Amino acid sequence: MKVASSRKKGGAAAHAGSAGLGLAALGVVFGDIGTSPLYVLRTVFTLDGGAVHLDEDDITGVISCIIWVLVLIVTIKYVCFVLRADNEGEGGILALATRVRRSLRPGRIASAVALLGVFGAALFFGDSVITPAISVLSAVEGLEVTFPDMTEYVVPAALAILSALFLAQRKGTSKMGRVFGPIMLAWFGILACMGVPHIVGNPRILVALSPVETVSFISRHPGTTFVALGAIVLAVTGAEALYADIAHFGRRAIQGTWLAVVLPSLTLCYLGQGALLIDRPQALSNPFFMLVPSSLTVPLVFMATLATLIASQAVISGAYSIARQASHLGYLPHMKVKHTSATESGQIYLPAVNLLLFVSVASIILIFQDSERLSAAYGLAVTTDFLLTTSLLLLLTRAGWRWPGWATGLAAAVLLAVELPLFAANVTKIATGGWLPLSIATFMLVVMTTWRRGEELVTHSRRAGEGSLSEYLQGLAASAIRRIPGTAIYPHSMLTTTPLALRKNTEINRVLHDNVVIVSIKTLPTPHVPRSKRVILDEIASPVRGVTHMTVRYGFMDERDLTETIRHGQRTLKLSWRLDDEVFFMLSHIHIMEGSKRSMWKWRKKLFIGLSRVSASPSWVNKLPKDRTAEISMRVLI
């Protein structure tokens, strides 16, 4: 009986924990896709001066397309498959590309996969700029329904609201999830309740639930469908945030919340708006806010504003995760990272990214002024990201999951049949706003590839300047160098070359500590490395006694405390020296300067050097004892 009781308690606790994660996920992950009903239908029926007709046939067809795009792209692709493609708990297109690369042999295909991942990450940054702007503008514009004279206050109000959101980021996603979760649960309940009365009043709209209606609408009006797809894609913006935020809440919480709460609520709301437009075409001026009586407009605007703040949070937290992954994988400079949870390593805050996002979002609001103009800029980044994710997923099904060819082909046919038309419809909007996400993504792609190339050049120059470690030790053994008591640790990124600080220290001071520990720090293409497997003792043929070489391995999402990691490794490997208060850390600093070599275009050299100047120290450097840490600098020309 006690065992049974214990099991019941354990099961109840697990259920409560899962429910809590689901509620928190509701407050962070689903805000973007949950606020799409604010602007999707209005955008569809105002595209190209009303190319999609506001009659029952087109309204029902559009609603059916929206529902089945939600089912195919979000439910089947992301919830059922992409969320299973996490990289040891980490999500986002960089994590997906890394996982696919591990399943492939080194070569051109693997390099192309890496480039796809980088471009997808660059597009996500573009989405992270546009989402907060369009979401908050759409909510505040709801006031115009009741107070038409408030138009001039929309932009200032949106800027004030977003300023508060970005200032609150330092509190962390876990705290925000606890606050936002109940609000979003209420929001999705409101969405459902708003739609139901109109569905009951006009049940003919329920025909939109059938996929036959979607196929029939496409076959009857292919041109109209193509135009409509340019805005229908707005209904699935935020789908990529489900994957990017998986480290924060886990796969099961996100899947369960989508199926139990989000999808049913969105479906009822879209059906309700469709029924309203069939009965009252004049409601097109703002079909979402006209679902309720005018007396409820102001409270609804208040709730919508809260929901759009949460929508912005989904992509902001996703941008933090993607930026940290890119930094650890060598595509962005080191950035200051603050962990906002004592128990969840994935919950982070990056001050530099937060500031850049805020400046970019504020600039976009000031440029575009209203959500309708901004909607033209939105779809292209999303649809391109969809295609990149699908391409990587299909590669994973063959190379990683070992699906038979027919299964991968079937998946490709279904997904591409939906996503290619969505992409094509949004390509036509490049001139009217699609240039914006492409410009942001291109800029980020240039930054990321430039940093990667610059790091390769610096590594090559360092190898040439530092020289072979084995040759250096042989020369040291032949010299009459004086040994002094104590231990010196030389962090160094390479296995075969001599740490600059070690070479310069012996050349200038002509002394060598009794214990010399060279530590190579490696970032593996995996999110986490168990603590027990982080330190490996490397075998080196050293003619000089007391020289130890070890490799410290971290995952790209691991928190890096080098002192603690070395202490744990020293105990585990039972090494003779101890990490005590007399151990010194000797760091090598690289000062990068522009040289005459034609290794990169001149402007890219200047960009790389500028980025290196603002690059933060690696996270492990900040945790070294400051009174026992020295640094020796070396100039490197690129």
Degrees, nearest 5: CA angle 257-68-406: 95
For helices 435-466 and 371-399, the axis angle rounded to 10 degrees is 50
Spell out, as residue ranges, where the chain has pLDDT lower than 50: 1-17, 342-343
Detail the DSSP E strand segments found in 501-604: 511-524, 535-538, 547-555, 583-593
DSSP assignment of 508-531: HH-EEEEEEEEEEEEEESSS---G
- 3-class SS of residue 224: helix
Residue with tokens 């407050």: 27
Q: What are residue 123's phi and psi, to 5 degrees?
A: -65, -35
- Looking at residue 150, its pLDDT comes to 73
- Looking at residue 314, its pLDDT comes to 67
- Looking at residue 6, its pLDDT comes to 38
Residue with tokens 């992954």: 325
pTM > 0.85: yes or no: no
Q: What are residue 53's phi and psi, to 5 degrees?
A: -70, 145
Q: Which among 185, 73, 143, 433 has a CA at the least distance from the CA of 288?
A: 143
- Looking at residue 259, its pLDDT comes to 93
Alpha carbon distance, N-terminus to C-terminus of the chain: 72
How far is Cα 557 from Cα 346, in angstroms, rounded to an integer? Answer: 7
The pairing of beta strand 482-492 with beta strand 348-349: unpaired
Q: How far is CA 405 from CA 73, 81, 83, 453, in A?
A: 21, 17, 21, 36
Structure tokens belonging to residue 181: 């979760």
The pairing of beta strand 535-538 with beta strand 511-524: unpaired
Q: Which helix (H) or strand (E) holds 488?
A: strand 482-492
How far is Cα 633 from Cα 635, in angstroms, rounded to an integer? Answer: 7
Query: Contact, 357 vs 163, CB < 8 A?
Result: no
Cα 386 to its chain centre, rounded Å, is 14
Query: Contact, 93 vs 392, CB < 8 A?
Result: yes
- Looking at residue 241, its pLDDT comes to 75
- Looking at residue 558, its pLDDT comes to 80
- Looking at residue 172, its pLDDT comes to 64
Question: What is the set of domains in the chain, with CATH numbers?
Answer: 20-330+340-428 (1.20.1740.10), 467-594+616-637 (no CATH)
How far is Cα 14 from Cα 234, in angstroms, rounded to an integer? Answer: 36
- Looking at residue 517, its pLDDT comes to 92
Q: Which among 436, 571, 547 has a CA at the least distance from the CA of 487?
A: 547
